[in-house]
Amino acid sequence: MKDFSHLDAGGSARMVDVGHKPEQQRVAVAAGRIVCQPETIAALKKQALPKGDALTVARIAGIQAAKSTAQLIPLCHSLPLNHVAIDFEVGETAITIRCEAATRAATGVEMEALTGVSVAALTLYDMMKSADKTMRIEGITLLEKTKK
This prediction's pTM: 0.89
Task: Judge whether 17 counts as a catalytic residue.
Answer: no
pLDDT above 50 for 1: no
| pLDDT classification of 12: cutoffs 50, 70, 90 | low
pLDDT above 90 for 112: yes
The more confident residue out of 20 and 78 is 78
| pLDDT classification of 7: cutoffs 50, 70, 90 | low
The matching CATH number, chosen from 3.30.70.640, 2.30.110.20, 2.40.110.20, 3.30.470.20, for 37-147 is 3.30.70.640
Half-sphere exposure of 117 (CA within 13 A, CB side): 27
Position 132 scores a pLDDT of 96
pLDDT, average across residues 41-49: 96
Please tell me which residue in 8, 17, 53, 126 is annotated as part of the active site. 126
User: Strand pairing of 94-105 and 81-90?
Assistant: antiparallel
Domain extents in the chain = 37-147
